[in-house]
Copies of this chain bind each other. A is one copy, B any other.
Amino acid sequence: MMSKLPEGKGRKAVVLLSGGLDSMVVAGLVREAGYSLCALTINYNQRHVIELEAAKRIAAHLGAERHVILPLDLRQFGGSALTDDIAVPKDGVQPGVPVTYVPARNLVFLSLTLAWAEAVGAHDICIGVNALDYSGYPDCRPEFIEGFRNLARLATKAGDAGEDFAIHAPLQFLSKADIAREAHRLGLDSAMSWSCYDPQPDPSGEGWLACGQCDSCRLRLGGFAEAGLTDRAGYV
């Protein structure tokens, strides 16, 4: 596993923190490496807006220096099951890009992360993309991350002055089982995070439960099972 980040003492890292398992592990790795954590969460009016609560729990637990929750209403664009009136598939992970793909989402989110990083003088940007057990989203692939790193130089005043931005994607080549193991190793309670695309009201009348059937739940449950670990999140 190559998930360790370079030593970060005395440096800030800006982390895209959705509140899911993957970004929780990335934020944990950032703290483990000694960086000061600047967490960015985008409220894009997503169907599973409940993940924002998970992001808050994680940022607080990890002692983030700052946590910005930025509203950005991607429902005005639509075009995805997460931001439009399109049903979330429940039949298992299929080949191809699924309808939960949000147009250009990672590019938009990484661009915002870069904007904040440049504004606060950070040069380390971290994202929890993963190219093994993933949903086939094009903007999770290594070529995309590498392309973004090159463009970051051209797009900024800092890059123009010869400063480089490192785009860390420490989970890139990990399986979901590896990621579950990393969460365990870092002592991060999986119940702090939220991955489900289609939250269901808890029949007890309070809070929400994960559906257990969307791609995100299936990949997560499969990872914990393969790792022989228990996912402490609540499922229907």
A156–B104 touching, CB < 8 Å: yes
- Determine if A79 is an interface residue (Cβ-Cβ < 8 Å): yes
Residues of B within 8 A of A68 (CB): 76-77
Which of A68, A70, A108 neighbours the largest number of chain B CB atoms within 10 Å of its CB?
Answer: A108
Residues of B within 8 A of A76 (CB): 68, 70
Query: Which chain A residues numbered 80 to 120 have a C-beta less than 8 Å away from chain B?
Result: 80, 97, 101-108, 111-112, 114-116, 118-120
A141-B154, A155-B138 are contacts. A108–B105 as well, Cβ < 8 Å? no
- Determine if A150 is an interface residue (Cβ-Cβ < 8 Å): yes
B157–A97 touching, CB < 8 Å: yes
Interface size on A, as a range, is 35 or more
A77–B116 touching, CB < 8 Å: yes
Query: Which chain A residues numbered 52 to 85 have a C-beta less than 8 Å away from chain B?
Result: 68, 70-74, 76-80
Residues of B within 8 A of A115 (CB): 74, 77, 102-105, 107-108
A68-B76, A73-B70 are contacts. A151–B148 as well, Cβ < 8 Å? yes
- Determine if A160 is an interface residue (Cβ-Cβ < 8 Å): yes
A79–B144 touching, CB < 8 Å: no
Q: Which residue of chain B has the shortest Cβ distance to A84 in the bound complex? A: B119
Query: Which chain A residues numbered 126 to 148 have a C-beta less than 8 Å away from chain B?
Result: 137-139, 141, 143-144, 147-148
B111–A104 touching, CB < 8 Å: yes
- Determine if A159 is an interface residue (Cβ-Cβ < 8 Å): yes
State in angstroms the CA–CA spacing of A138 and B152 once bound together. Answer: 11
State in angstroms the CA–CA spacing of A120 and B104 once bound together. Answer: 12
8 Å CB contact of A151 from B78, B97, B107, B116: B107
Write the residues of chain A forming the contact surface with B, with a CB cutoff of 8 angstroms. Answer: 68, 70-74, 76-80, 97, 101-108, 111-112, 114-116, 118-120, 137-139, 141, 143-144, 147-148, 150-152, 154-157, 159-160
Q: What would 16 more interface pairs be, CB under 8 Å, given A71-B73, A104-B118?
A: A70-B76, A71-B72, A103-B114, A103-B115, A103-B119, A103-B157, A104-B114, A104-B152, A106-B155, A107-B114, A107-B155, A108-B108, A139-B155, A144-B154, A147-B151, A151-B151
